[in-house]
Structure 1
Amino acid sequence: MSETVEGRWAEIFGPRYLPVTTILALGVTLFAFNAFLSAAALPSAVRELGGVEIISWATTLYLVFAIVGGAAAALLKQRMGSRRSLIGLALIFLAGTLIAATAGDMSQVLVGRAIQGLGEGVVAALCFALIPELFPSRLVPKVFGMQAVVWAMAAFGGPAGAGALTELISWRAAFLINVPFVLVFVIMVLAVVPRGKRADGAYGFPGLRLLTIGIGTMMVALSAVTEPVVAAGLLISAAALLATAVWLDRRATQRLMPPDAFSLHSAVGSGLWVFLLMPVAGAATAVYLIMLLQQLWNYGPTQAAITGAFMGVAWSLSSVTVANVRQRSTRRILIRCGPLLLAAGLGLVLMGLELTQLPILLIGQVAIGMGFGISNGYIMLTIMEASTDTERDRTSALLPTTQSAGNALGAALAGVAANAAGYPLAMDSGAVLASIVPLFVMAMGFALLAFLAALRMVQLARETPLSTFAEE
C-alpha cells in the first residue's frame, strides 16, 4: 500500500473539476453567509417590525432546522438522487429567504429563517457527500483547503456585506442577496451534478428520529439563555435525547447515519467525536472574545472584530498550507496536533486577557486557528477513507451536521459556564477576568478530550483497511 497520495491545486481549478469546485464553493458560501446574517441585518428588522424579545430565535431556529435537515440529507439523496435533492432543497431555502425578506412581522421572519435552515442544512450536507463522489481521494485535501478559505471569506465578508446592504438599502436586501446565488447554484447543479441512482423500495419516514434530534438540539440552544441549574438539566436531557436518536438509528432499516456513528470502536466513530468536540472547545473564544475585548480593553466593534479574525485567517492559511501533505503518517501527526494546538491557544488567549498582553492573545488566536486548519481536513478525509463504500454518503453528509452540533453545544456550554461563574453580574475588570477562568478551563478540557479521541481515531485508522475511495 502506498504511503503517498498525490494531487495538485491546479486540478480542482482546471476544466475537469472547476464546475464542481464552484458548486461546492457556492454551497459553503450560502451556509456561512446566512449563519452570520442575523447579527448584521436583524437588529434593523426589529426596529421596523418590533419583536425584540424573539430576535435570538432567528438564529436558534436556523441552527436547529439546519441540523435536522443535515441529519436527513443522506436519506434524501438516496431516495431522490443528488441532483433533485440539491435543487429541491435549494429552492426550499430560496422560499425561506423570500418569506423572511417580505415579512410583515418578526414571526414571519422566524418562519423564513427556519425554512432557510432546513434547506441550507441539507444543501451543505449534500455538498460534503458529493466530495467523495465527484473527487478522487488525492484531491480531497485541496477541496477542504478551498472550503476553509471560502468559509473564512464568507465569515468575514458576510456580516460586512449584510451590514452594508442593510445600511445603504434595507435589511430586506441582505436577505435578497441570496436569490442570485441560489439561482446560479441551481443552474450549475443542473449542468454538472449527475442525477445519481435512486434506491428502489418502500420507505418509512424517520419522523421519530428527526423529532428527537430536533428537540435535543432545541434544548441545547435554550440552555444558553436560561439559569445555570435549568441549563444543566436541559443539557443532560438533550444529551439523552441525542444518544437515543443514535441508538434508534442503529436499529432502523433505513438509517440516517453510519452504523458506527460516535462509536469509539471504529475510526469513523472516533473521528466524529473529534469533529464534535473541537468546535465545542473553540466556542469559548468564538462566543465571548469580541465582547471581552470591548469590555476589558475598550476596543470598538471593528477593532475587536479584526482581533478576532486572526483565528479565521490562521485557519484558512494553515489549511491551504497542509493540503500539500502527501504522507499519511504526517497527516496522522497533524490530526493529533490539532486539538493540542487548540488547547494551547485557548490557554494563551486566557493568559493574554489576564495579563492585558495583546501579542500573547494574538499568538493564542493563531494557535487556535492552526489547530483547526491543520487537522480538520485530514480528520474528514480519514473518516471518509475508513467508511465503507455503502456508508460513505451517510458519513460524509454527517460531517457538517456534526460540526454545527458542536458549535451549538459549545455555545450553550460556554454560556452555562460563564453564567455560573457570575460573568453577567461582573461589574469591573477584575470580576470579569475571574469569571471567565472556568469558561476557558472547561474549553481546554474539551480540547484535551478531542485529543484523546484523535489518538483513538489514528490508532483505529491504521488497523482499518482502506476503502476503494482511498485507493483512487
Structure 2
Amino acid sequence: MHSASSSRWSELIAPPHLAASLTLMLATAIFAFNAFLVSTAMPTAVGELHGEAYISWTLTVYIVASITAGASAPLLKARFGARRCLFVASGVFAVGTLAAALSPSMELVLIGRTVQGAGEGLVAAIAFALIPQLFPSRLVAKLFGAEAIVWAVAAFGGPVLAGVITEMVSWRAAFFVNLPIVAIFLLLVHVAVPREARNHDTGFFPGIRLGLVALAMMAISIAGVALEEPWQASIVVLGAALCLIAAVRIDLSAHVSILPHGAFGLSSISGLGLWAIFLLPLAQSVTGVFLVYAVQHLWGYGPAVAGGIGAILAVAWSSGAVTVANFDGRGRRVAFVAIGASVLMVGLLVGLSAMAQHLLALVMLSQLVIGLGMGVAWGSLCQVVMETQLEDERSKASALLPTLQSAGYAAGSAIFGLVANLAGFATDRSPEGLRFAMIVAFAAAALLALPSLGFALRMGRLHRAGTYE
C-alpha cells in the first residue's frame, strides 16, 4: 500500500472518465446551486406573494419529497435503468422549477417545490448509485473531492448570484438559473450513462414503506417548524422514529428490498457506516440551523458577513476532502472516517466554547474545524460503505447515501430546534437568552456526535479484524 494514491486528478478529466465526471459533478451542482439560489431568493418571493406563514414549508415539502423519492431510487433504477430514471427525474425537477418560478401564489410555489424535491432526490440517489459502476475504486475518493469543490463554489457563488439576479431582475429569474444546468446535465447523461438491462422482477411498488418514510419525514419537519410546545414536538419526533423503524422492518422481510443487505447492522462495517452517514450530518446540522442567525443577532453583523462566516464550513469541507483524496487504501479510508468524526467533535466543542465566551473568532474557528472534519470523513465514509457491500447490493447502498444525508439534516434541524426552544429560544429574545439557547444547542450537538464517533472507531476495529459482513 502506497502513501499516495496511484491515481491522478487528471484522470477525472481524461477521455475515458470526462463525461462521467462532468455528469456526476453537475448532479451535485443541481442540488447545491438550487439550495443556495432558493434560500436567497425565497424571502423576496414570500414578501411579494404575502406568504410569510409558508416560508418554512418551502424547505419542508422539498426535503420530504426529496427523501421519499431518493428512497425509491434502487427499485426504480433496477426496473427502468439509471439512464431513463435520470432523464425523467431531471424533467420532473425542471417542471417543478418552472411551476415555482411562474406561480402566482405561495400555495403553487409549495407544489413546485414538492415536485422539485422529488426530481432532485431521485437525481442525487441515482447519481450516487452510478459511482461504483462508472469509476474504478482508485478514482472514487478524487471524485468526492471534486464534488466537494462544487459545493464550495455553490456556497459562495450561489447566494451572490441569486442576490444579484433577485435585486436586478426578480426572484423568479433566480429560479430559472436551474434550467440551463439541467439542460447540460441531460446532454451529459445521454453521452455518459450506458443503457442497462432492465429487471422487471422488482415486485410491487413499495408504497407502504415509502409512505412510512414520507410520514416520518413530514412529522420530523412539522416538529421542527410548526409546533410550539416541546412535549408535542417530542411526541411527534418519537412517532416519526417508530414509522422509520416500521419501514425498515417491513423492508428487511420484503421479497425485493430498498435497503442493502445488513443495513444498519452493528456487526458490519457497511451497517455501521450507514448509521454514520445519518448521524454525522445530524450533529453538524446545528451550524446550518443557527450559526448565521447567531452571528447576526449576537454580534450584530448583516446577512453578507454572517453568510460569509457560514460559508467557511463549505471551503474547509472541500479542503479536507481534496487532501484525503490523495491517499488510497481501505485501511486509510476507515481511519479517515474516525479522524474526521473526532475533528467534528472538536469543532462542535469549539462552537460551544464560542457561544459560552461570546467570541466571534472562535465561531470562525469552529466552522473551519467542523468543515475539515466533515471533509476528511465524508468521501471516505461513502466509499467504504459502497465497497464493503456485496457486489449486487452496491447500487442500493450507493443510492441510499444522499437520502440518508438529507434525512440526517432534517432530523437534526428538528431536534436542535426543539432543544433550543426548550432552552428558551422561542420565548426569550434577549441576547443573553439567545446565547444560552445556543450553548444548549451546541452542547446537544456534541453529545449527538458521540454515537457517530463510536461507530467510526468500531468500523476501524472490524477492519483490523478483517470483518466486513
Superposition TM-score, scaled by structure 1 size: 0.95
Distance 1:201 1:274, change over 3 A: closer
Is residue 2:254 matched to residue 1:240? Answer: no
The residue that corresponds to 2:160 in the other structure is 160
The residue that corresponds to 1:197 in the other structure is 197
The residue that corresponds to 2:78 in the other structure is 78
Whether contact under 8 Å (2:28, 2:147) holds in the other structure is: yes
Aligned equivalents of 1:133, 1:464: Cα separation in 2:
25
The residue that corresponds to 1:437 in the other structure is 439
Whether contact under 8 Å (2:268, 2:467) holds in the other structure is: no
Cα deviation for residue 58 of structure 1 reads: 1.1
1:444-459 equivalent positions in 2, closer than 5 A: 444-459=446-461
1:118-197 equivalent positions in 2, closer than 5 A: 118-197=118-197
User: How much identity, in percent, do the aligned residues show?
Assistant: 43
Aligned equivalents of 2:3, 2:198: Cα separation in 1:
35
Cα deviation for residue 355 of structure 1 reads: 1.9
- Post-superposition CA distance 1:142-165 (Å, at most 9, x none): 000011111121122222222221
1:193-232 equivalent positions in 2, closer than 5 A: 193-201=193-201, 203-225=203-225, 226=227, 227-232=229-234
Is residue 2:301 matched to residue 1:305? Answer: no
Aligned equivalents of 1:2, 1:310: Cα separation in 2:
32
Is residue 2:361 matched to residue 1:331? Answer: no
| Number of residue-to-residue matches in the alignment | 467
Is residue 2:277 matched to residue 1:275? Answer: yes
Cα deviation for residue 464 of structure 1 reads: 5.3
- Post-superposition CA distance 1:52-80 (Å, at most 9, x none): 21122111111000000110111111001
Aligned equivalents of 2:210, 2:429: Cα separation in 1:
43
- Post-superposition CA distance 1:81-113 (Å, at most 9, x none): 111111111111111111111112111111111
Query: Match of 2:199, SS?
Result: coil
Cα deviation for residue 343 of structure 1 reads: 1.2
Query: Match of 2:72, SS?
Result: helix
Q: What is the one-letter code of the residue matched to 1:234? A: V
1:338-349 equivalent positions in 2, closer than 5 A: 338-349=340-351
Query: Match of 1:55, SS?
Result: helix
Whether contact under 8 Å (1:267, 1:464) holds in the other structure is: no
Distance 1:202 1:22, change over 3 A: closer
The residue that corresponds to 1:470 in the other structure is none
Q: What is the one-letter code of the residue matched to 1:197? A: A
Whether contact under 8 Å (2:141, 2:383) holds in the other structure is: yes
Cα deviation for residue 4 of structure 1 reads: 7.8
Aligned equivalents of 1:222, 1:37: Cα separation in 2:
23
Aligned equivalents of 1:380, 1:47: Cα separation in 2:
40
Query: Match of 1:423, SS?
Result: coil
Query: Match of 1:47, SS?
Result: helix
Whether contact under 8 Å (1:267, 1:386) holds in the other structure is: yes
Whether contact under 8 Å (2:281, 2:405) holds in the other structure is: yes
Aligned equivalents of 1:50, 1:432: Cα separation in 2:
28
Whether contact under 8 Å (2:269, 2:467) holds in the other structure is: no
The equivalent position to 1:418 in structure 2, one of 417, 420, 426, is 420
Aligned equivalents of 1:13, 1:47: Cα separation in 2:
44
Cα deviation for residue 354 of structure 1 reads: 2.3
- Post-superposition CA distance 1:306-353 (Å, at most 9, x none): 112211111111110110012433332221111111111111122123
Aligned equivalents of 1:132, 1:465: Cα separation in 2:
21
Query: Match of 1:224, SS?
Result: helix
Whether contact under 8 Å (1:266, 1:460) holds in the other structure is: yes
Aligned equivalents of 1:23, 1:464: Cα separation in 2:
35
- Post-superposition CA distance 1:390-429 (Å, at most 9, x none): 1011000000000000000011111000000002222433
Whether contact under 8 Å (1:386, 1:464) holds in the other structure is: no
Is residue 2:252 matched to residue 1:261? Answer: no
The residue that corresponds to 2:53 in the other structure is 53
Cα deviation for residue 175 of structure 1 reads: 1.4
Aligned equivalents of 1:209, 1:363: Cα separation in 2:
42
Query: Match of 2:361, SS?
Result: helix
Aligned equivalents of 1:116, 1:305: Cα separation in 2:
24
Distance 1:202 1:295, change over 3 A: closer
Distance 1:463 1:196, change over 3 A: farther
Cα deviation for residue 137 of structure 1 reads: 0.3
Aligned equivalents of 1:281, 1:201: Cα separation in 2:
39
Whether contact under 8 Å (2:212, 2:244) holds in the other structure is: yes
Unmatched segments (≥5 aa) in structure 1: 468-472
Aligned equivalents of 2:466, 2:152: Cα separation in 1:
33
Cα deviation for residue 462 of structure 1 reads: 4.2
The equivalent position to 1:316 in structure 2, one of 315, 318, 340, is 318
The residue that corresponds to 2:402 in the other structure is 400
Whether contact under 8 Å (1:353, 1:433) holds in the other structure is: yes
Q: What is the one-letter code of the residue matched to 2:7? A: G
- Post-superposition CA distance 1:150-208 (Å, at most 9, x none): 11211222222222211111111111111111111111111121011211336311100
The residue that corresponds to 1:114 in the other structure is 114
Cα deviation for residue 465 of structure 1 reads: 7.0
Superposition TM-score, scaled by structure 2 size: 0.96
**What RMSD, in angstroms, separates the aligned Cα atoms of the two structures?**
1.8
Whether contact under 8 Å (2:2, 2:328) holds in the other structure is: no
Q: What is the one-letter code of the residue matched to 1:30? A: I
Q: What is the one-letter code of the residue matched to 1:243? A: I
Query: Match of 1:259, SS?
Result: coil
Cα deviation for residue 384 of structure 1 reads: 0.9
